[in-house]
Amino acid sequence: MAPALTRRAGLGLLLLALPGGALAQEDAVATAIREQVGDTTATEGGITLRAPPVAENGGQVPVTVLVDSPQTAEAHVTAIHVFATRNPTPGVASFRLTPLMARAEVQTRIRLAEDQRIIAIAQLSDGSVRRTAAELRVTTGGCLS
């Protein structure tokens, strides 16, 4: 046990040496994701995040999240969560979906303070979690702060 603890302590020191801002931001993103989906491991695939690679106006960036699902009572997407990794706060929105929807698709508009990675996470009725991400560039940042 002791060597593992030492290694962890060493990692702690290494993390302390990293720029605080970036670390705090990553932490905030991880925390925001955990708040929504818990600790379930997400798989890649079966989820698409569509967004322009370069957004002229960071205040209004059109984003579509689409999950492969029959959206029936037996098998459907129950939620889609969107996170922004380099905004002042990572939360964008959570969408609750039901079998009354024809497909697991939501189009929305988000705001981005600067170039960053957007993460979309879907929760399914069988308890599984899917995740995807996209890198977006922003010409003029949205006025978040």
What's the sign of the alpha-carbon dihedral 91, 130, 49, 75?
A: negative
Pick from 105, 120, 130, 141: which binds another protein (CB under 8 A)? 105
Pick from 7, 8, 109, 117: which binds another protein (CB under 8 A)? 109
Burial group, residue 139, by CB count within 10 angstroms (0-12, 13-18, 19+): exposed
Pick from 6, 43, 98, 128: which binds another protein (CB under 8 A)? 98
CB nearer another protein, residue 46 or residue 59: 59
Q: 106: closest CA among 92, 127, 88?
A: 92
Pick from 76, 111, 130, 131: which binds another protein (CB under 8 A)? 111
Do the Cβ atoms of 79 and 95 come closer than 8 Å?
yes
Site residues for another protein per CB under 8 A:
59-61, 82-84, 87-98, 100-103, 105-112, 142-145
